[in-house]
Amino acid sequence: MRRVNGVALLSRAVVCMGSSTAVGGATQQRLVQAAMLSTCSNSNPLWFTRRLGDHFGLSKPYVACGAGGHVCFSSNATSLAQEVHAQDKFLPKDVELYQYEACPFCNKVRAFLDYYKIPYKVMEVNPISKKEIKWSDYKKVPILKVDGEQMVDSSVIIDKLFQRINPENNVVNGEEEKKWRGWVDNHLVHVLSPNIYRTASEALESFDYITSHGNFSLYERIVAKYTGAAAMYFVSKKLKKKHNITDERAALYEAAETWVDALKGRQFLGGSNPNLADLAAFGVLRPIRHLKSGKDMVENTRIGEWYTRMESSVGESARIEA
């Protein structure tokens, strides 16, 4: 790898967003893309452009991190806690989550595993080499291996685990629960990117988190942080237009208030205990909670109390050392 001038990195990152030709070397271009990919391997334009997704083999939106269709078996509502006793019937010996730490859809799966106290090992995937998932034909995250069985797509993973925890319950989604799980995947995620990359300083803050929590070498971390932040700052402006967002923070606050209104005075959407929609919303928001955008959201909307209750209900991580 050749040494790249820091100033040139920023300018080249801007140029590379408008061209698929080599800019600053193929390695640097892949690092920018990989840094964006490290936020989430979903090909949703929330996290990176379709061109970047195609470069990594992501063929269509909402497939990589489980934002595809949900598996629904009944229209009756259900509460996760009502079936917690059934967890004893599902005691996997080995659970491995292949993920990017900052990916919101990976965080959905982690929120579910943490809530149900299912011990799991984390395999942090290098977004450039992807060597950790070379064994799999599926090249996106999250991937969950349960006693050797591969599961993919965050929503499908959660549905399958829920059924195994509750083998006698055919209900995965009630109508309300299904509606709001879809809202999380198809709306809430769209307002996050324009917010976490809203300004140059916020873009750097976001990529500092992404690269410091991801599986990057020191060189990759430095390059990805600055080129990725510069690139996504400009991409976020395009995403605002694409999703008809005029004011990033207003859109984030509106989404937060919409979620609180959906609770209808209940502690959780699931009632006295979280349901799958609660866990989905919590998981998606967890990576931004301590970024400036997340802090502003909690300070300027009513979502803080629900989020705190979710933190308490989900509890400590069930993650174990690999």
Contact predicate 121/95, CB 8 Å: yes
For 146, the token pair is 């349960």
Q: Is 106 a catalytic residue?
A: yes
CA 56 – CA 17 distance, rounded (Å): 15
Burial of 319 per CB tally in 10 Å (0-12, 13-18, 19+): middle
Q: Is 56 a catalytic residue?
A: no
Amino acid letter at 240? K
User: Which residue in 249, 210, 213, 251 sits closest to 231, CA to CA?
Assistant: 210
Around Cβ 305, how many Cβ atoms within 10 Å?
12
DSSP state at residue 81: G
Of these residues, 56, 62, 105, 282, which one is catalytic?
Answer: 105
Q: Tell me the CA distances in angstroms from 206 to 122, 198, 200, 247, 293, one per residue in order.
A: 21, 10, 10, 19, 10
Amino acid letter at 10? L
Q: Is 48 a catalytic residue?
A: no
Of these residues, 16, 40, 65, 106, which one is catalytic?
Answer: 106
Q: Is 105 a catalytic residue?
A: yes
Burial of 315 per CB tally in 10 Å (0-12, 13-18, 19+): exposed
CA 252 – CA 219 distance, rounded (Å): 34
Of these residues, 100, 115, 268, 282, which one is catalytic?
Answer: 100
User: Which residues are identified as catalytic?
Assistant: 100, 103, 105-106
